[in-house]
Amino acid sequence: MSDISRNGHSGSGQPGRIGIGLELDDIHLKILEILRENGRISVAALAERVGISRANAYTRFEALRADGAIKRFTAEIDHGRAGLGITALIFVTVRQQMWKQFRAELARMPEVEYCAITTGQHDAMIQVRVADVAAVHTMVTDRLANIPAVKATETVFILDEVLRRPYVLPGDGRQAARPARRPAQEERDDVPLGKMRFVGAAEGRAALQKDD
């Protein structure tokens, strides 16, 4: 139910568009860094780790929350232990005029953890967590297939989740974090380009986003 696209700083955000309401400085980023790996740390302890006063930490903490830079705090659950041992990705091709309906149906499927609109061969990718393989089949055939907006699906299973970072932030020891220096052409034409493939949006898909 949490629609994270409405004020659209996710995914569809303009490149380099930083700090609309709040100017995020290094201390803000450090706070976020700590909070993403320990969402329950006290503000007092946070202040100490960042090296600022408690009052300052409270002010910044509240500002980040109010600004929306921190969207929420959440507990990461071990799905296996909670009885949802199967994870699958379902790539969906959506009839363009019916995008809004597709969204509404998604909101009614609690097994969907994530849904994103993508470029490439399909229009959307959804990630589902269910108890067993049969439930994936039920989900795809009974629920998704009966949505008129769904033209086709392709399902793959997740065999193992190798890595999940709480939430990526700029400056994680990265070189091209914010302004992103673009290497000159000469510097990068030694790259084996034949290995890779970029997949743009299918024709006429520009309309998809405005569709709702």
Partner DNA sequence: GTTGAAATTAGTACGAA
Partner DNA sequence: TTCGTACTAATTTCAAC
Residues forming the site for DNA (CB under 7 A): 27, 42-45, 52-56, 58-60, 62
Signed CA dihedral, 108, 109, 115, 119: sign only: negative
Q: How far is CA 121 from CA 4, 21, 87, 109, 128, in A?
A: 23, 36, 21, 24, 20
Task: Compute the least distance from the CB of residue 170 to its own copies, in Å.
Answer: 5
Residues 120-179 that bind its own copies (CB under 8 A): 120, 124-126, 128-135, 137-138, 140-142, 144-146, 150-170, 172-174, 176-179
- Under 8 Å between Cβ of 11 and 116: yes
Q: Which does 45 bind (CB under 5 to 8 A by kind): DNA, its own copies, none?
A: DNA
What CA–CA distance (Å, rounded) separates 191 from 194? 9
Task: Compute the least distance from the CB of residue 116 to DNA, in Å.
Answer: 33
- Under 8 Å between Cβ of 95 and 110: no
Q: Which does 105 bind (CB under 5 to 8 A by kind): DNA, its own copies, none?
A: none
- Site track for its own copies across 32-71, x = CB under 8 A: x--xxxxxx--------------------------xxxxx
Pull the structure tokens for residue 77.
């659950």
Q: Which does 69 bind (CB under 5 to 8 A by kind): its own copies, DNA, none?
A: its own copies
